Amino acid sequence: MNVINPATGNQIETYEDEDITEAKAALDTATDAFDSWRTRPLREREELLSDVADILGERKQKYAELMTREMGKPISQAKAEVEKCEWLCNHYAEHADAYLADEYHPSPAGSAVKTSYEPLGTVLAVMPWNFPFWQVFRFAAPYLTAGNVGILKHASNVPGCALAIEEIFRDAGYPEGVFQSLLLPSSSVEDLLADDRVKAATLTGSGPAGRAIASTAGEHLKKTVLELGGSDPFVVLDDADLDAAAETGAWARNQNGGQSCIAGKRFIVHDAIYDEFIDRLIDEFDALTVGDPMDEDTDVGPQARADLMEELHEQVTESVDAGATVELGGEPLDREGAFYPPTILTDVPEGCPADAEELFGPVASVYRVADEEDAITKANDTEFGLGASIWTEDRERGERLTHEIDAGCVYVNQLVKSDPRVPFGGVKESGYGRELSEIGIQEFVNRKTIWVE
């Protein structure tokens, strides 16, 4: 695996691929580890996770710089990602015992009936490059604390992050085999998932990758959680606070270089305030600093790989050829590295890439709608259903409309985000299952009914 710094185009590191033989040996190690890990007192597993949080806090700068070098995330956002992982670990270190406590049920006199939450075994995680620490800890913190063991197959452009995360768990005192990172090609995933020793799988990634995982897992009757793509609507109604909506909308679309499943991608704006809002949105986009991701003042760094930037630009070009208007940006920057500027498209025709596909970069598609009803219709006019954001000064109106949007999470007067305290996941082509909170830690357990007479 050759790691290319997307800000410079230079190769910075090379890692040796592992093969399926090494992966099978890792499964042996994981299986052995599970036998003792599952019986370790939950309080001890929580304490180890707290130690992981401490290491993340102590090494924040080191791991942030690693992310920035490998996939181009601005350093300030990379540090925030490490901090969020630390928060996540502390959350489950504090609350896992409550989330996994036995649940008692009504029963006949003289009997006791409860549900007990017991681990399944080895969980395979196939994770993406866009949030190379957060996505991994989002599965590892709850699932390992529940008593499972984990095998990570990370994206091929962030192998250093994969090995660093394994190092963190090892340094925190986790037993050998409880968490392992494998530098495998994607072609090995199907064989790994088919192995009887893998009991469940989770994937964050593209629709085709999710279907492949779901198909193989279904054939072998294994539980899966899938978090796939998104084309989140950002609905701005006629009574919205336009300054707040434009400022937050610019960040929702451009954070992490726009490379986020839950980024605000389709801006659906009420006709009564459309012209005023689009002017403010252009100003907010234009004010963002594009530059060296190692600079603390940079808002938007490079795209994670040159080929991803090229694919994004093809989608923009096809949309413009179909009739979309470029209000800002729209061309790769003439500089070293895979830099694409914050871009705004209006007059977006139905069915063009900017309308029908997920644009995984800093490109906003903006639509003018006549009224609230049209706004909801357009928000739901997508195969995806991950998140949505609604902007209105009337909180009751906003809450009412949350029930009319087909998405796994809807935020009113806030950007869509994942938070350890609340469940996260999508519907439709955005996947199934939930991560985080109590529901997340209970996804990969045996909800065992125990009846004692």
To the query of whether residue 161 is one of the catalytic residues in this protein, the response is no
Report the pLDDT value the prediction gives residue 345, as an integer from 0 to 100.
Answer: 99
Name the pLDDT band for 283 (thresholds 50, 70, 90).
very high
The mean pLDDT of the chain is 98
Catalytic-labelled residue, pool 85, 89, 161, 261: 261
Name the CATH code of domain 232-412 (choices 3.40.309.10, 3.40.50.2020, 3.40.30.10, 3.40.50.300): 3.40.309.10
Catalytic-labelled residue, pool 46, 227, 358, 443: 227
For the stretch 140-160, pLDDT in tens is 999 999 999 999 999 999 999
> Which structure tokens are listed for 283?
């100003």
**Mean pLDDT for the stretch of residues 124-132:** 98
CA–CA separation, 381 vs 350, rounded Å?
Answer: 10
Report the pLDDT value the prediction gives residue 68, as an integer from 0 to 100.
Answer: 98
For the stretch 191-236, pLDDT in tens is 999 999 999 999 999 999 999 999 999 999 999 999 999 999 999 9
Q: What is the dihedral of CA 301, 253, 125, 88, to 10 degrees?
A: 90
To the query of whether residue 44 is one of the catalytic residues in this protein, the response is no
Name the pLDDT band for 117 (thresholds 50, 70, 90).
very high
**Mean pLDDT for the stretch of residues 11-23:** 95
**Mean pLDDT for the stretch of residues 308-325:** 98
CA–CA separation, 323 vs 285, rounded Å?
Answer: 22
Name 181's bridge partners: 152
Name the pLDDT band for 289 (thresholds 50, 70, 90).
very high
**Mean pLDDT for the stretch of residues 412-428:** 98
For the stretch 29-85, pLDDT in tens is 999 999 999 999 999 999 999 999 999 999 999 999 999 999 999 999 999 999 999
In which residue ranges of the chain is CATH 3.40.309.10 found? 232-412
**CB contact at 8 A, 211 and 221:** no
CATH architecture label of 2-228+428-452: 3-Layer(aba) Sandwich (3.40)
The share of the chain scoring above pLDDT 90, in percent, equals 100
CA–CA separation, 241 vs 265, rounded Å?
Answer: 19
In which residue ranges of the chain is CATH 3.40.605.10 found? 2-228+428-452
**CB contact at 8 A, 226 and 203:** yes
**Mean pLDDT for the stretch of residues 309-321:** 98
Q: Among 431, 374, 386, 417, which residue's Cα sits nearest to residue 235?
A: 374
